[in-house]
Amino acid sequence: MAENIMNYETVTLNEEKATLDIIDQTQLPNHVEILSLADIKDIWDAIYLLKVRGAPAIGVAAAIGLYVVAKDIDADSYDAFYAEFKKAKDYLASARPTAVNLFWALDRMENVVLMNKDKAVSDLKQLLHDEAIAIKEEDIWVCRSIGEYGLSLIKDGDGILTHCNAGQLATAKYGTALAPIHLGVEKGYKFKVFTDETRPLLQGARLSAFELYSHGIDTTVICDNMASQVMKNGWVQAVFVGCDRVAANGDACNKIGTSGVAILAKYYGIPFYVCAPTSTIDMETKQGEDIPIEERPAKEVTDMWYTKRMAPEGVNVYNPAFDFADNELITAIITEYGIARPPYKQSLKEIFERKANAHK
């Protein structure tokens, strides 16, 4: 049995050292290494280099990281403090372009500063500390709530396919797409989970499989191009995926390969569920085509994981990090405030109305 990664915190504030502590996910599954980060360049690198990854975890890490940096800003006046704070916030925002949680969390932190212009700098730093902790605690509640809603859609013994990693390693706890599975296990359910390896970075093989297997869950890794056969065999009763941004029309952007899985699920009549915190739903983005898609280095395809290069020198490489599943392929979008179903332009608005009412 693998080491139970569920016993570790994916991202946290180390109060004693005043650092952002993360699991270095580039070392998994072979080595569990905790990084303690205080320098803004190291925090930026951790986000860009996928040492911390998954939209919710990126948001939490950015919030804590921004506090860690802001804590050491040497300024006597509000204006001087805000100038340095804004510079740090904008720099961290440049680390990844697609995951809306990054900008959402950083904007929340900035709003704390903007709404408290009359406060002393020392008080601003304490308020930023409290907001960062609140963002993390909210993520734990959000993920558990998504898990409970998702669990209502499946039954004991079901086969579930997932793509990439949207588990605890992508969030503060439980995960989004894997939360129904983890919560089901707590209730004694037994699932058979198929994890797409998720080329080229292998988040399914390295992370989801590690997380699920270490939690005692029946887990089978498959190459991405095996999903059709597994579905055809009748082994999959539901697909659960996370996402990095949902557009207002329900188009859901997630790790590259997700759209193909959605198309296959539609063909085989298998429910395709997107698990999305409301912080990942961008009502300002009308459709999937409007979402910026990050393109990553060619070496992730040609060199990574190999002792020798596995493609001809000089050959062209296209390496988009994400694609999006068209809303017509999505059975439902599971949020912490309920389950949205087509038509999504209406149901997602209702989700946000429910959220607004809950916070009155």
Token pair for 170: 């992508």
Q: Which is the catalytic residue, given 244, 251, 282, 323?
A: 244
**Integer Cα distance of 349 and 38 in angstroms:** 39
The residues near 89 (Cβ < 8 Å, ≥ 6 apart) are 66, 106, 109, 110
CB 176 within 8 Å of CB 169 = no
Q: Of 210, 203, 276, nearest to 55 (Cα)?
A: 276
CB burial of 239-262 (b: ≥16 within 10 Å; e: otherwise) equals: bbbbbbbbbbbbbbbbbbbbbbbb
275: left (phi > 0), else alpha (psi -120 to 50), else beta? beta
3-state secondary structure (DSSP) of residue 185 = helix
Is 123 catalytic? The answer is no
Q: Of 348, 214, 297, 252, nearest to 55 (Cα)?
A: 252
DSSP string, 50-100: TSS-SHHHHHHHHHHHHHHHHHT---SSHHHHHHHHHHHHHHHHTS-SS-H
Please state, as a whole number, how many other Cβ atoms lie within 10 Å of the Cβ of residue 333.
25
**Integer Cα distance of 102 and 97 in angstroms:** 9
Catalytic residues: 244
